[in-house]
């Protein structure tokens, strides 16, 4: 599997940068998100059990906008190749 950088949080400081990537999987459309690990006890209690092979991350809304841009390009026929621009 290969990944394409979509963008990072424009308000992040260096070394603390939630980021979104698109993958080139052929069996399904997937994304990889880099974010802040959720450790807040109240949030974890609200969510409930998380399987050992998964984790929870928090990402800013601005990073999700990058997904919307990628989706719009996909609809225009540019697909994954146009994802990084």
pLDDT in tens, 38-73: 999 999 999 999 999 999 999 888 888 877 887 788
Tokens of 16: 């603390």
End-to-end C-alpha distance for the chain, whole angstroms: 20
Instruction: Say which residues have a Cβ less than 8 Å from residue 47's Cβ, sequence separation at least 6.
Output: 38, 56
pLDDT the model gives residue 17:
78
Mean pLDDT of the chain, nearest integer = 84
Residue pair 54/65 in contact (Cβ under 8 Å)? The answer is: no
Average pLDDT for 20-32: 89
pLDDT the model gives residue 80:
52
pLDDT the model gives residue 40:
96
């Amino acid at each position: 599997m290969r990944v394409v950088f979509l963008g990072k949080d424009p308000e992040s400081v260096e070394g603390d940068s939630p980021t979104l990537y698109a993958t080139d999987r052929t069996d399904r459309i997937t994304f990889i998100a880099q974010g802040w690990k959720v450790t807040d006890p109240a949030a974890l209690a609200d969510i409930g059990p998380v399987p050992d092979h998964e984790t929870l991350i928090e990402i800013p809304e601005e990073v999700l906008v990058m997904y919307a841009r990628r989706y719009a390009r996909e609809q225009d026929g540019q697909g994954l190749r146009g994802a990084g621009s």
